[in-house]
Structure 1
Amino acid sequence: MLKFHIVGTKQVKATKLKDRGFKMEILELPIEFKYKEQKNIIYPSLIISNNDLTLVDTGYANFLPIIESEIIKIGYKMINLKNIIITHYDNDHIGSLYAFKAKYPWIKIIASERESRYISGEEKSERLVQAEEMLAGLPSEEIEFGKWFIQELKSLKHISVDEKVEDGAKILDGKCTIIATPGHTSGHISLYIPSLNSVITGDAAVNENNRLVIANPHFCLNIEKAKESLSKILNLNVKTYYCYHGGKLTL
C-alpha cells in the first residue's frame, strides 16, 4: 500500500449560518502530503449542523487518523460525526471509508444510487474498468503508476451504503440538496446548501488558478456530461464553491 508523507494541515475560514439558535457551517480540512517528493493537497469538507458533523469524502486509505486529528483540533469529538457523504468512487475520495465505518459504526454512509453499486461491490467500478483498458496503451514511464492505480482500486474494501440519493434529494434536515453532476463518473454528486450560498463540488469542478474547471478531463468517463455538470453548478450562482482539488473559491 502506498504510504504518504504528511507535511502539514491548516484550518481555513468557515461559511456560517446562525438562525434562531441554529448554527450551520462548512469547514475545509486541507491535507497536505507528499508522493515521490511531490507536494499534493486535498480538501475534504466538514459540514457542521449545530454539533452534528457530516464529512464529505474520506481521502486515501491511510487518512483516517489525519482527518480525525483535524476534526478534534477544531474542537469536536468523533462521537459527533453522524454522516459521511461520498461524491464518487475514486480511491482518493473513498479510501478511508471502510475504516471510518469499522471504527465508528453509527455513521450513516450516503452516496448516489449509481456509486453505491461500486461502493458495495455489487458491480465492478467504472474507474477500474477504465484503468484496466488504458493500461496497455500507456507510455512505458507510466506503466508502473497504472499498475499501482489498478491495485489501489482492487484493494478498496466494499461496504454497504445506508442512504442512496438521487438528483434533488434533500438531506441533513432538508438543508442540503443533492445535485447530480455526472461526467467525471456516471453517479457523481455535488452538494448544494442554499442557506450558506455554497456548493461542495467533489470532482465535478476543481479550483485552478481561481477558476472552476473540469477535473482531469482526460480521465472523465463522459466529457460532454462533465461539461454540462460544470455549467449546472455554475448556474446556481452561489458565492462559495468548495473544491476537493484546489480548495475553496469565493466569487
Structure 2
Amino acid sequence: MKIESGIYMLEIPANIMGMASVINPTLIWDKDSLVLIDTGFPGQLNQIRESFEKEGIPFSKLNMVILTHQDIDHIGSVSDILKELPGRVKVFAHEEEKAYINGEKKPVKLAKLKDRLEYLPDNMKIIYEKLKSGFENSRVNVDKTLIDGQELPFCGGITVVYTPGHTPGHICLYIKQWKILIAGDILSVKEGLLVRADQDINFDNELNIKSIKKLMKYDIETVICYHGGIYKGDVKKRIAELVNDL
C-alpha cells in the first residue's frame, strides 16, 4: 500500500501464536536507496518479494534493511534476504540491539522463556524450541549501529527515535517531510484505535511509558504500526490519552 511518495506499507499474512494475522514492514524508496524496515518471520522471503512486486518495486534494488528491534517477527527473514542478494544489502539497527541480532546475547524474550522453561506447559516448550531455532538461523552482522536523534539521508530525511522498553534498543523512525512515524512495536492499531503494545511482552514497562511520552514532541499525522497498520488523525491527542491513562 502506497502511503506517500516513496513510502509503502507492506501487508504480509502471518501466523502469530496460532492466530492468523498480518504484519506491516515498511518500504522507503528514493533515487539512491531502497530501504526495508523489518523483515517478517523466518521463511517469509517469498512473501516479502511478492509484496515488492505487487507495488511495482524491484526486489533486486533492495540495498538496506533497518531493524526496529530484535524480535523474531522483525528479524526473521533478514538472513535469507542477505543470502538472496549477496554483498548488496546493509543491515542497520540501534547500538543496544546489535549483540542480540548477531547472536552475542540471547534475545530477551527467549531468555525470559528459558528462565521459566521447567515450569512451562508442553505447548510453550515447543514454542521455545521453535523460537530458539528461529533466532539461531536469523543471526546476522549489523553493518551500522544507530543512535537517538540520528538523521538518515533517505526520503528527505529520517530521524532515529530511540524508544526502549519493548526491547532494550527498540527504535521508531520519523519521516519529517510527511509527518509519518514508523512505530515498530511501541504502538499498535486495534479495531481502528491506536493503542500501546501489550505490557506482557515488554522488556521494561517503565521505559516503554517514557518512550511513548517522548513521541509527543514530534509532529505526527500518520503512524505505521507493525501490528495493525495505519493510524491517521489527531495522533498527538491520542498519544496524550494513552499517557494519561497510565
Q: CA deviation at 1:235?
A: 3.8
Q: Report SS of the residue matched to 1:228.
A: helix
- Is it true that 1:193 corresponds to 2:182 in the alignment? no
Please state if 1:178 is matched with 2:160: yes
Whether 2:107 is the aligned partner of 1:118: answer no
CA deviation vs aligned residue, 1:186-225 (integer Å, no higher than 9, x gap): 0111101100100101111111233332222102110011
Aligned positions of 1:102-251 closer than 5 A: 102-104=83-85, 105-139=87-121, 142-153=124-135, 155-173=136-154, 175-251=157-233
Residue deviations 1:109-167 (CA, integer Å, cap 9, x gap)? 110111111112222222221121233444566444344334433x3332211111110
1:39 aligns with 2:24: no
Show structure 1 runs of 5+ residues with no match: 1-11, 17-24
User: Which whole-Å CA distance do the structure 2 matches of 1:36 and 1:121 have between them?
Assistant: 23
Counterpart residue identity of residue 96, structure 1: S
User: Match of 2:36, as an amino acid?
Assistant: L
The answer to whether the aligner puts 1:14 opposite 2:3 as a matched pair is: yes
Contact kept, 8 Å, 1:214 with 1:227, in 2: the verdict is no
Q: 1:230 aligns to what SS in structure 2?
A: helix
SS in structure 2 of the partner of residue 145 of structure 1: helix
- Map of 1:8 onto structure 2: none
Q: Is residue 45 of structure 2 the alignment partner of residue 64 of structure 1?
A: yes
* Residue 59 (structure 1) shift: 0.3
The answer as to whether partners of 1:117 and 1:123 remain within 8 angstroms in 2 is yes
Q: 1:54 aligns with which of 8, 31, 35?
A: 35
Alignment-derived partner of residue 238 in structure 2 = none
Q: Distance in 1 between matches of 2:214 and 2:194?
A: 12
Q: Tell me if structure 1 keeps the 8 A contact 2:26–2:38.
A: yes
What is the distance in 2 between the residues matched to 1:32 and 1:175? 30
Match of 1:7 in 2: none
Specify the alignment match of 2:244 in structure 1.
Answer: none
Q: In 2 relative to 1, CA 140–63 (structure 1 residues): closer, same or farther, beyond 3 Å?
A: closer
Task: Say which SS state the counterpart of residue 114 (structure 1) adopts.
Answer: coil
CA root-mean-square deviation: 2.1
Deviation at 1:49, TM superposition (A): 1.7
8 A contact 1:213–1:230 mirrored in 2: no
Partners of 1:247 and 1:134 in 2: CA distance: 33
Maintained 8 Å contact 1:135/1:147? no
| TM-score normalised over the length of structure 2 | 0.86
Give the secondary structure class of the aligned counterpart of 2:29: strand
Give the secondary structure class of the aligned counterpart of 1:195: coil
